[in-house]
Each structure stands twice: as C-alpha cells, then as structure tokens.
C-alpha cells in the first residue's frame, strides 16, 4: 500500500527564503525544492495520494494553507527514472494537516530551553518552525509538524523495487531494525539518489504528560531532502512512520535528532481526505509488531538497568548515566560524580521517581570510575549481567545505552546500535598476557551518555561508556566513542560488594601511568617527529 517517492516544488522564491534550504536549483526567480514522500496505493479511480512533510511547501502557503499562484508540485518514483530523464507526474495540494499531540511531545522535549533548538539542515531554520510557539492551531511551527496531502493527476509508473510496503506496524519495540527510504540531495542528481536507503534502530520513544502522542527517535542521521521519507522494518518491510525535518540542539556537543511520526498516527490524521476504499485498505493493513529477543533485552535494560544521575560538583549541576550492578549499587564515571559531589540523585530509565542522597562508595580519577549506593532501590531493578573479555570481538554488534542526546527533562535513555571498532589491549607487566583496557565502538553517543553501558545483543555488559573523540578545535565525533572494559572494574565492584571499599583501588586491573597515557592519547605514536599538538589532536571527551 505504501511506496517511497520524491516530491518537487517549483515557484518564485526569494533568495532569503532559499537560504534555509541546503539544496535547491534556481534559474532566475524560479527555484525548485524537493523532499521525500510516501505514495499510497491507488484504489479504484483514484490515481494516487502522496503524503509528505509540509516543510518545502510552507513558504508558499497562505494563512488558509493554500498554495500561491504559479506554484507547481510534481512527484517521481524510482520507476520514473531512466538514465537520461526523470518522468515527473503533476500533483495538486489537497490539504495540510497537523498533530496537536505531536506538538505536545516536542514542547515537552524542548521545554527547558526552547531557544536552544532549531529545525533544519543549515544554520538558518526552515520557515515556520518557530519552536517557541507550538500551541495547537499555530501556523508558526507547521514547517516541522505539518503533513501535506497531494493528489496525483495520473498514476505513477509501477515499480517492483523494495521500497514498497503493504502493511503498517503499529507498535514497534525499541531496537527494532529499520530502513529509511528517503531522497537526500535529490535535485543534485535524482537518478542517483531516488531509491536511497539507510539503516537504523528505534533508539527511544518520546511521550508527554496528558498526551497520547508518541514520537520515535532513530539513530540515523538524515540529510536535506529526506524529510517526508518512509521508515520500514528492516525485516518484512512493514511501514513504521514518516520522517520529520531534523531537529538540532545547539550546545557544546550539538545534537541532531531524527524524529519519526508513527504512520498509523499520520493515516488517522489524513483519513478524512482519503476515499473510502483507501481508508478501508489502510485499516486492513494495520498490524501489531512482534518483539524479538534483542528488543526485549534492550527494553528491559533501558527501563530498569540504566539510571540517570544528577549531581552538583564544584558548584555546577550536571547529569550523566549509571548502571545497576546489584546490592543497591550502580557504577558510573568519576567525571559524572565523585567524592566531591553533593545532592546526588538517580532515577531508573522509565521511572519518574528520584532516589535522593546517593552515596559515593568508591571513586578512581585514574580509571574515571565510581561506585554509588542507591537508597531503597526499587524491586524492579535489574542488575547488569557483566560478561568476560572473551565475549568481545572486533566487528561484533553492540548497543550503547545512556542518557545522551537530551530527550527531555524526564525522558528515557537513548539506545544506539554499532559495532566494536577496536579493542586496545595492554600489559601491566611483561610476563602477563595482554588485557583489554579500551573498547572503541561506532554506536552514537552524546554528552550525558557518560556512565552508560555498552551491551552485547543478548544484554551482557561489556563496557562503561566514558568518552567521545574530540579534535583539538573542539569538534566532537559521536560515532567514535571509548568505553572502559568491565573486566577492569569487576575486582573493585566485588570488593565494595563485600564491604571492603578500601581495597577497591587495588582491585582495579590497571597501571596508573600506562592507563593515563592510553586515555590521554600520549605516548602511543612511534613517530617522534610529530608535534605534541598533532599527537593529541584526537582526545577522549564525553
């Protein structure tokens, strides 16, 4: 019932308006913009309906959401592209619909700092994406949450490609593997980018108090032109949702959130603009998702194993993550909380209840590791299953779970999939075998993930997320992150569990000086010609 397409709009646009769009074509005053869309399968005499993001249309809408004179809208699918041309089908704008519940979710997401966010793919926000006015009925934010409904003048050429989806998955679990079908940079070369697909997982589900709206956060980076794209299950191809324009939080560690509106929510909103046969086909296509083992394990981990930590250190409030390890204890990084921290409190992933007056039982600045005691932990708490180093192999699938990415004041932790990119092993003594001292992974991690966990597919903890790569100029790489192997920490954890916190430092399986050199990226090069600045041009940070 659903197929991915490209939507193009041509109109007279001012240069000041075009500045918000990263890619466009222009000839004189006439300019073209493009994004992705979803074609609903034609029924009976209906040539086809396309739903897409309203973001490229809003500069051309009046207050009654009608297109200005002289605007043309066209649609093309993968089967419309040949080696020499793209066959565009004219379309008419039927309506623009909005989602009050989705507005509520986004309002809750940005509530602590609305001015710190913007929508778009460049430094200039997209038109009508004013995040300070997300009240129901406002046109000022319809560029983010608005969905345009287009009616084709005649059917598109049929296609047998894999962008077609027959059913809607109405409740996919966390960590569901997904594909995004979108058309980035589509006006640069449509023949190249129509049919573009990228993979991701559901990282988190966002909600708001007193609202039925749900937004999915996925761990893929989207580009200009992919808004309006179709998201499907990687296995089976059931449709999941529609991609919104990118939302960016401006801060030291800029965060780009890819938000997806559930497709059943979109279809409910647009159904009054569909023919009866199309509505019947949509209702018949809905299907509840079935969970898989990875989804179940990661859902439980994010809910009752990972904690959010807040503390005051040196007069400054900060937050990070922690991992429940048993006996009312959790582990985190010493740069998140240490013996100098006060007002330490934690809460579990899905819980709104804070546990106050947590106590630091052990802290090591060398290993950037600490152990906290949680007063009265809940019965639902699930201890992390700590695995041995033998379970770690390069290129194995891993999941990073932590409170990075900022998903609202009481939002859930984020889950991101990646692989073990490398395992750095060191020897404390020449007669010892090498021991893993650092895990490098490609899972996306942002500020706030510090103290979170790196897990295998079956939910075993292998690492304590500690840092990202950062250049000397301050540029951070979210997909290059560093974790402490838990094998280094188990001795200290067991010592504290058995009431011997004074011996915890001796149980850390590290050599202070070697460990410091490894984690500050000093003393690792054999090229003595390198200047110190160049030698330390990449350093851990989170």
CATH number for the domain harbouring residue 20: 2.40.10.120
Whole-angstrom Cα distance, residue 264 to residue 230? 12
212/325 same-domain check: no
The reported pLDDT for the residue numbered 428 is 66
The reported pLDDT for the residue numbered 290 is 60
268/324 same-domain check: no
The 3-state DSSP class for residue 491 equals helix
Whole-angstrom Cα distance, residue 538 to residue 528? 17
CA distances from 225 to 22, 35, 85 (A): 9, 4, 19
309/246 same-domain check: no
State the total domains in the chain.
Answer: 2
278/309 same-domain check: no
Which pair of tokens denotes residue 442?
């490609």
User: In which residue are the tokens 């038109």 written?
Assistant: 127
385/249 same-domain check: no
200/301 same-domain check: no
Whole-angstrom Cα distance, residue 83 to residue 161? 17
The reported pLDDT for the residue numbered 3 is 87
User: 285, 318, 348: which is the final residue of a domain?
Assistant: 285
CA-closest candidate to residue 497, choices 379, 364, 326, 360: 326
The range of the structural domain enclosing residue 531 comes to: 292-542
**Burial track 420-435 (b if 16+ CB lie within 10 A, e otherwise):** bbebeebeeeeeeeee
**Cβ-Cβ contacts under 8 Å for 236 (sequence gap 6 or more):** none
Q: How far apart are the first and last CA of the chain?
A: 44
Whole-angstrom Cα distance, residue 357 to residue 354? 10
441/417 same-domain check: yes
User: 285, 304, 323: which is the final residue of a domain?
Assistant: 285
Compute φ and ψ for 338, nearest 5 degrees. Answer: -150, -170
342/239 same-domain check: no
Whole-angstrom Cα distance, residue 285 to residue 72? 32
Which pair of tokens denotes residue 495?
């010592």
CA distances from 261 to 5, 54, 217, 240, 531 (A): 17, 13, 9, 8, 49
pLDDT one digit per residue (tens) for the chain, 542 residues:
688 899 999 888 776 667 677 677 777 678 888 899 999 876 666 788 999 999 888 888 876 678 878 889 999 887 777 767 788 999 999 999 888 888 888 888 888 777 788 898 888 888 888 787 776 556 677 888 899 999 999 888 654 444 566 788 888 889 999 999 998 886 767 777 888 899 999 999 998 888 888 999 999 989 989 999 999 998 888 899 999 999 988 776 678 899 999 998 998 888 888 777 677 676 677 766 665 667 878 888 888 999 999 998 778 888 999 999 999 999 999 999 988 888 999 999 988 899 999 999 999 888 899 999 999 899 999 999 987 655 678 889 999 999 987 776 688 899 999 999 999 888 766 667 778 889 999 999 988 999 999 999 888 999 999 998 877 777 788 889 999 999 889 888 988 988 887 777 766 766 677 777 788 775 443 333 333 334 344 445 55
377/458 same-domain check: yes
Radius of gyration of the chain (CA): 25
The reported pLDDT for the residue numbered 538 is 45
257/329 same-domain check: no
**Cβ-Cβ contacts under 8 Å for 380 (sequence gap 6 or more):** 303, 304, 348
The reported pLDDT for the residue numbered 534 is 40
CA distances from 91 to 153, 230, 302 (A): 6, 19, 44
Alpha helices in 286-344 (DSSP H): 293-304
Task: Look up the pTM and report it.
Answer: 0.86
255/335 same-domain check: no
User: 229, 250, 285: which is the final residue of a domain?
Assistant: 285
268/342 same-domain check: no
């Amino acid at each position: 019932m659903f197929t991915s397409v490209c939507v193009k709009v041509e109109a007279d646009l001012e240069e000041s308006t075009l500045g918000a769009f990263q890619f466009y074509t222009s000839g004189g005053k006439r300019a073209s913009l493009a994004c992705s869309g979803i074609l609903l399968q034609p029924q009976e005499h209906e040539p086809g309906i396309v739903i897409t993001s309203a973001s490229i249309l809003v500069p051309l809408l009046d207050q009654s959401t009608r297109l200005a004179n002289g605007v043309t809208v066209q649609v093309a699918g993968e089967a419309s592209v040949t080696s020499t041309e793209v066959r565009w089908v004219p379309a008419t704008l039927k309506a623009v619909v909005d989602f009050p519940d989705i507005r509520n979710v986004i309002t809750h997401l940005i509530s602590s700092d609305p001015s710190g966010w913007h929508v778009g793919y460049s430094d200039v926000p997209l038109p009508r994406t004013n995040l300070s006015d997300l009240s129901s009925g406002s046109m000022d934010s319809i560029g983010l949450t608005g969905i345009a409904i287009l009616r084709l003048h005649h059917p598109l050429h049929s296609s047998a490609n894999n962008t077609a989806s027959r059913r809607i998955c109405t409740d996919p679990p966390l960590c569901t593997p997904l594909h995004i079908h979108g058309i980035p940079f589509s006006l640069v070369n449509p023949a190249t980018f129509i049919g573009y697909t990228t993979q991701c997982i559901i990282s988190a589900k966002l909600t708001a108090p007193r609202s039925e709206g749900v937004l999915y956060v996925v761990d893929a980076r989207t580009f200009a032109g992919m808004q309006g794209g179709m998201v499907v299950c990687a296995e089976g191809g059931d449709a999941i949702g529609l991609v919104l324009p990118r939302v960016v939080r401006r801060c030291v560690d800029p965060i780009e959130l890819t938000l997806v509106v559930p497709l059943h929510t979109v279809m409910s909103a647009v159904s009054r603009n569909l023919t009866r046969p199309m509505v019947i086909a949509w209702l018949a296509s809905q299907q509840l998702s079935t969970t898989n083992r990875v989804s179940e394990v990661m859902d439980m981990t994010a809910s009752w194993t990972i904690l959010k930590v807040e503390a005051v250190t040196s007069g400054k409030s900060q937050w990070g993550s922690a991992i429940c390890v048993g006996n009312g204890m959790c582990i985190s990084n010493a740069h998140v909380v240490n013996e100098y921290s006060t007002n330490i409190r934690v809460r579990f992933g899905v819980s709104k209840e804070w546990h106050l007056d947590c106590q630091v039982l052990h802290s090591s600045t060398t290993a950037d590791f600490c152990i906290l005691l949680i007063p009265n932990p809940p019965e639902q708490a699930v201890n992390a299953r700590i695995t041995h180093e033998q379970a770690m192999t390069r290129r194995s699938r891993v999941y990073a779970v932590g409170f990075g990415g900022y998903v609202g004041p009481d939002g859930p932790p984020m889950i991101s999939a990646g692989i073990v990119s490398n395992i750095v092993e060191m020897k404390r003594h020449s007669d010892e075998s090498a021991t893993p001292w650092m895990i490098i992974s490609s899972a996306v991690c942002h500020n706030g993930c510090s103290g979170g966990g790196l897990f295998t597919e079956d939910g075993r903890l292998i690492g304590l997320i500690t840092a990202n790569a950062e250049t000397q100029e301050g540029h951070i790489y979210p997909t290059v992150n560093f974790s402490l192997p838990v094998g280094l920490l188990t001795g200290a954890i067991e010592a504290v569990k058995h009431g011997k916190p004074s011996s915890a430092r001796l149980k850390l399986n590290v050599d202070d000086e070697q460990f410091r050199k490894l984690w500050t990226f000093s003393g690792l090069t054999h090229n003595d010609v390198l200047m110190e600045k160049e030698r330390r041009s990449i350093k851990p940070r989170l």
